[in-house]
Amino acid sequence: MTAKVKAGGIIRNEHLAKIGIMSAPDRPGLASEILRVLAAVSVNTQFIVQCADLQNNSHIVLCVGDEDSDAALAALEPIRGSVKPQDIVHRHNVAVVSVFGPDFREKPSVAASVFSAMAAAHINIMAISTSISTVSCLIDGERVDDAVVGLREYFDLP
């Protein structure tokens, strides 16, 4: 392994539920429609990723508190007809583990180190989100401790 990458710390966000709005025809306003109905029932989304596939279908994966998952799923049901997803899937007991900066723009090895740590610990990453100062991985909630131990092997943390 190469030298450890300096980072500001690790964040654990546990007790989450993953909700996936899968294979919805991609269009302007799709994410807005989905997130507006969740906001209307006071459900906070704590993680969001979106991508479009080769058939121009959008896949939006988000996390809510496990205790809010039933309300979120119920709020999404009435818009199923307008969003037209192939399916809405969910999974309880997921977590987001993040490594934060302060500024990763000048450190090209950060993402590779996060993913290498997850691979070395045999942890599957369900979704990835990044910013200029954070790399976040959605993982099985049972594996958070293993993820943190693995990340500590790859990062120089305070």
Q: Is the pLDDT at 1 greater than 60, yes or no?
A: no
Same domain? For 78 and 106 the reply is no
Same domain? For 86 and 121 the reply is no
Instruction: For residue 83, give its domain range.
Output: 15-90
Q: How far apart are the C-alpha atoms of 143 and 84, rounded to whole Å?
A: 33
Per the structure, the count of domains in the chain is 2
Q: How far apart are the C-alpha atoms of 116 and 33, rounded to whole Å?
A: 36
Q: Is the pLDDT at 140 greater than 90, yes or no?
A: yes
Query: What residues contact 30, with CB distance under 8 A and at least 6 apart?
Result: 24, 58, 60, 83
Same domain? For 65 and 118 the reply is no
pLDDT in tens, 21-59: 999 999 999 999 999 999 999 999 999 999 999 999 999
Which of 46, 67, 90 delimits the end of a domain? 90
CATH number of the domain to which 52 belongs: 3.30.70.260
pLDDT in tens, 106-133: 778 899 999 999 999 999 999 999 998 9
Query: What residues contact 8, with CB distance under 8 A and at least 6 apart?
Result: 100, 101, 102, 133, 157, 158
Which of 41, 70, 90 delimits the end of a domain? 90
Same domain? For 27 and 82 the reply is yes
Same domain? For 71 and 109 the reply is no
The alpha carbons of the chain give a radius of gyration, in whole angstroms, of: 17
